[in-house]
Structure 1
Amino acid sequence: MLTYPKINPVIFKIGPFSVRWYGLMYIISFFCCLFLCRYQLKERGRQDLYPFLENLLFYSFIGLVIGARIGFCFFYYPDYYLHHPWEIIAVWEGGMSFHGGLIGAVLVGYIYIKKHRQSFLWWADLIAVTGPVGLFFGRIGNFINGEIYGKPSNLPWAMIFPEGGPVPRHPVQLYECLVTGLFLFLFLWKLRKKDWLPGTKLAIFLISYGILRFLFEFIREPAQSFPLLFGWMTMGQILCIVMIFAGILLLYLVRKKFVQKYF
C-alpha cells in the first residue's frame, strides 16, 4: 500500500481570499490548450486566427466552468443543491462535472463561432485534440483534493484517502490522469494533421473518452445522491453512454454530410 500524500489543497491564503491547486489546474489547462491550438494554427499557416482563437477559448472556458459546476450539482446531487442553492457557486471547493463542462463549453463556443460565421466543426476538431490535457490536470486536482477515489483494493499501490475511510482504495484519479489524459492526448494529437471531414476528430474524442470513462466507473466509488440504475450503473456511465451515442451519431452525420450546413 502506498501512502497518500496529504497536500494542502490551498496554495496560499490572504484574508478571505485563497488560491487552490484545483483552480490552478483549470488555469494551467486553459493556457496549455491555447498554446496547442495556436501551434496547430501555425502549422496550417493561419496565424491570422490567433485573436479569434483567444476570444473563443476565453468564452468557452467560462461556459466550461459554469457548466461543470451546474452539471455536478444537478447530475449527481440534485436534492442537496436544490435545498442549498447558495452553495452552487462554491467552485473553489471542487465538485465539477466533466460532462456538464463539455456541454457548457460546446454551447458557448457554438454561439460565439456561429455569431462570427465560422465553421463550428472545424474549430471543434482543432480544440478536441487538446481536450485530454485538461482532463490530465483536472484529475491531478481531484487527487490533491482527495476526491473521486476508487473502490477498495488490495493492490500494492492502493491508498487510504482522508474521506474514504480506513480501507485502501484505487487511486483512480491517477489512472484517469494517465489514460484519459496523457495517453488519449497522445493518440488524438497524432490525428491532428489528418485531412478528414470537419467534425470527425470531435466524434472520435467523444467516443474514445466515453468508452474509457465508462470502464473506469466500475472501479470508482459511486458519488451520487440517488440509487444506481439497475443496481450497478452510475450517473457517470449514463452520461458516457449519451456521449458515445452522440459521437457515433455525429460521425455518421459528418460522413453523410448532413451537418455541415448547420455546424
Structure 2
Amino acid sequence: MEFPEISPVIFEIGPIALHWYGFMYLLGFLAAWGLGTYRAKQPNSGWTAEQVSDFLFYGFIGVILGGRIGYVLFYGLEFWADDPWYPFKIWEGGMAFHGGILGVAAAGWYFARKNKKGFFEVGDFIVPLAPLGLMFGRLGNFINGELWGRQAAEGFPLAMRFPDDSLGLLRHPSQLYQAAFEGLLLFLIVWFYSAKPRPRKAVSGLFLTGYGVFRFGVEFFREPDAHLGKVISWLTMGQVLCVPMIALGIYWLYSAYSKPQQATK
C-alpha cells in the first residue's frame, strides 16, 4: 500500500504552525501528567500533584538534552566531526531514546535529592508514565514518514511505500510496531504491574527489561541508519544499546526480589 498523504502541519495561523510531531510530544506530556496526578491522589502514594508537575518539568529538560546528546554520541559523531556546531542544530532533527532515558535519570536524581526521596522511589513512580509518551512519539515518526522499516516480504499486508524513500521499496511500518510494543503494550504491562505494592527497584527493572526486549526485537524490522548500518555483525546500534539496558533491568528485578526493600505503592 502507499503511505497515506498526511500533512506534517495540523494548522497554520500566520507565522504560527502546529506540527503533528510537536503535538504528539504534547499528548505524551499530557498523558504522563494525567496518569501521574491520578497515581499521586491514591492513598499513601507519597506524592503530590505538584511534585508530579515539578518532575515532569525537569524530565522534559532531561529528555531534550539527553536525547540530543545521546544522538550525537551514539549516531552522529561523524556529523559532529564535520560541523562543530552540529550538536546545537536541534532543528535539523536527531534525538535518541537511550540518551533521553539517561537525561531523565539525571533529572530523577536531581529531583530525588531536592525532594528528599530515594532515587528508585522516584523511578518506580515515574516509569509507568513513560510508555504512552513513547507511543505518541513513534506515531509522530510515522506521520512524518521517517524512520521506516526494512523491505517487507512480497505480499505482506502492512507493507507500504514511504514518500521519501528513494528506492521506492515496500517496507515494514516499523514506527507502528514500536508504537504498539514499546508504547501501548509496555504501558499496559508496567502500569498494571505497578498498581500493587512491589519491592523497590522492581517497577524500574521491569520497564528497562521490557523496553529493551521490545526494542531489540523490533529493530529486526527497522531500517538501520544509513550512515551506520549494522555496527556489530548483524546488530544495529539500537540493539547494541539495548543489551546493557536489558542486563541492568534484569539485575534490578533480581535485586528487588532477592533483597526486598520498602514496597512501591
For residues 96-131 of structure 1, give each alpha carbon's deviation from its aligned partner in whole angstroms, at most 9, with x where no partner exists. 211111010111121121122112212211111121
Residue equivalent to 2:18: 19
1:222/1:234 contact within 8 Å kept: yes
Q: 1:88 to 1:156 in 2, by over 3 A?
A: same
| TM-score, normalised with respect to structure 1 | 0.90
Residue equivalent to 2:112: 113
Residue equivalent to 1:232: 234
User: Displacement, 1:237?
Assistant: 0.4
Alignment of 1:161-172 (within 5 A): 161-164=162-165, 165-172=167-174
Q: Which moved more, 1:248-257 or 1:158-167?
A: 248-257
- RMSD of aligned C-alpha atoms? 2.3
Residue equivalent to 1:249: 251
Where in structure 1 are there 5+ consecutive unaligned residues? Answer: none
C-alpha separation in 1, matches of 2:184 and 2:229 = 32
Where in structure 2 are there 5+ consecutive unaligned residues? Answer: none
For residues 127-185 of structure 1, give each alpha carbon's deviation from its aligned partner in whole angstroms, at most 9, with x where no partner exists. 11121101110100110111111001131221111222211100010111112211111
Q: Secondary structure at the match of 1:190?
A: helix
C-alpha separation in 1, matches of 2:92 and 2:34 = 27
Q: Which amino acid aligns with 1:216?
A: V
Matched residues, percent identical? 41
Q: Secondary structure at the match of 1:79?
A: helix
1:122/1:198 contact within 8 Å kept: yes
User: Displacement, 1:87?
Assistant: 4.0
Residue equivalent to 2:3: 4
2:148/2:171 contact within 8 Å kept: yes
Q: Say yes or no: does 1:127 pair with 2:129.
A: no
Residue equivalent to 2:160: 159
User: Displacement, 1:15?
Assistant: 6.7
How many residues are treated as equivalent by the alignment? 259
Q: 1:230 to 1:87 in 2, by over 3 A?
A: closer
Q: Secondary structure at the match of 2:18?
A: strand
2:208 is aligned, of 202, 206, 210, to 206
Residue equivalent to 1:143: 142
Q: Secondary structure at the match of 1:219?
A: coil
Q: 1:253 to 1:193 in 2, by over 3 A?
A: same
Q: Which amino acid aligns with 2:151?
A: P
Alignment of 1:210-225 (within 5 A): 210-223=212-225, 225=227
| TM-score, normalised with respect to structure 2 | 0.89
Q: 1:179 to 1:245 in 2, by over 3 A?
A: same
C-alpha separation in 1, matches of 2:232 and 2:216 = 15
Q: Say yes or no: does 1:176 pair with 2:178.
A: yes
Residue equivalent to 1:190: 192
Residue equivalent to 1:39: 38
User: Displacement, 1:250?
Assistant: 2.0
Q: Which amino acid aligns with 1:149?
A: W
Q: Secondary structure at the match of 2:94?
A: coil
Q: Which moved more, 1:85-94 or 1:186-195?
A: 85-94
